[in-house]
Amino acid sequence: MFPVARAAQSLVARRIQHTAVRQAHRKHEPTFHDKYGTTALLGGAAVFLSVWGYVFTQLKIEWGFSPVGRITPREWRE
């Protein structure tokens, strides 16, 4: 291996080890996602389902958009 490549590899390895040691000694503080992640996800799912449940059950939506059989043709003018 070339000396420059070997030096670069050892620097990268040393930096990774240093980062791992620093993170291992640091106390883990719970983030927002650690504290409220599941609750926020379930709350969002509940809101989503309730809104779409209302839309599908209460609004008068015609799901068949095809005009076949609904439109009667007018007589052709000559």
pLDDT band at 60 (very low <50, low <70, confident <90, very high): confident
| Domain 1-59 = CATH 3.40.50 | no
Separation of CA 60 from chain center: 31
Highest mean pLDDT among 29-33, 35-39, 64-68, 71-75: 35-39
Alpha-carbon distances, residue 54 vs 39, 44, 47, 58, 62 (angstroms):
22, 15, 11, 6, 15
Specify the pTM. 0.43
Residues 17-27: tens digit of each pLDDT: 777 777 666 66
